[in-house]
Amino acid sequence: MAHRVLVLGGSGWLGAAVVEVFAARFELHAPAHGAVHGAVDIADAVSVAAAIRVARAEVVVNLAAANTGDAETMGRVNALAPGVVAACTRAAGARLLHMSTDLVLDGRAAPYADDAPPHPVNVYGRTKAAGEAAVRAADPTAVILRTSLVFDPDVPDRFTRSVVERLARGESATLYTDEIRCPISRLRLAFVLAELVERADIRGISMNVAGTQALSRFDFAMRLLPRFGATRTDLVRAALAADAPDPRPIDLTLDVALARALLRTRLRSVDEELAAATAR
């Protein structure tokens, strides 16, 4: 029998891939959220409880996140809502998979273990760290996943698209050579989440789920941009995040040994994902 799954945040960049993968495997409910008629207010316990009840959810997957620059919105979506979702999920007897980010870390002590204590350096990271804490307090059985840059070798994300468009206009773009991340394809991450839906034995842990290749933002972009038609990569300027006016975490390399040991889904490097996409 297919698992009944409620996905919150299914309209986002990662959510689109998750909904596609889940729809083929599970009895899926992925309601809209926000100001849409009939949408779920993820920071309101009555709204969330009703969504869980309608879906008869066995598993709730919370992908909702806001990185809008607006502190109030980020606080509500990233910090407040996760605790609400966790409490409602536990009250309903369902399991929770909560998606977090490497940006809860400060980038000064890599590689980071799965349970590395948060030390965020910006507002987004602080709100996501608060969300993690709220989830742990409301539901100790929840699974909290920290991931890194989420990309698609076939579809440019918003940032990549903006860089491609700038280069096409003959404008320069600045990327950092010392800001290290572990990019993961959104389809790969969706497969990981699908496996975790089916793995009732995995609960009550924090786990890093990211790519197996640590790359600077500059090196990652130089691999990805040509796939989307960027020919003027000579206009990409290398810079140091350490010199940026706003604080940025530097090395956010994640240790994924636990995920590789527990999961059947194999984590891949960026180069592997790009090679596989080219071969299709």
Confidence (pLDDT) at 1: 60
Length of the chain: 280
Burial zone of 77 (CB within 10 Å; 0-12 exposed, 13-18 middle, 19+ buried): buried
Residue 19, helix vs strand vs coil: helix
Structure tokens at 61: 């997957």
- Residue 139 has a pLDDT of 98
What confidence tens digit (pLDDT) does each residue in 50-96 have?
999 999 999 999 999 999 889 999 999 999 999 999 999 999 999 99
3-state class (DSSP) for residue 138: helix
Q: pLDDT tens-digit profile of 203-246? A: 999 999 999 999 999 999 999 999 999 999 999 999 999 888 88
Given pLDDT bands bounded at 50, 70 and 90, which one contains residue 34? low
pTM attached to this predicted model: 0.95
Q: What is the mean pLDDT of residues 94-120?
A: 97
Q: Tell me the three state secondary structure of residue 199.
A: coil
Backbone angles phi, psi at 228, to 5 degrees: -110, 25
DSSP secondary structure of 209-262:
---S--EEHHHHHHHHGGGGT---GGGEEEE-GGG-SS----B--B--HHHHHH
- pLDDT for 33 equals 63
**pLDDT tens-digit series, residues 111-135:** 999 999 999 999 999 999 999 999 9
Q: For residue 113, what is the DSSP state?
A: P
Q: What is the pLDDT of residues 140-191, one digit of tens each?
A: 999 999 999 999 999 999 999 999 999 999 999 999 999 999 999 999 999 9
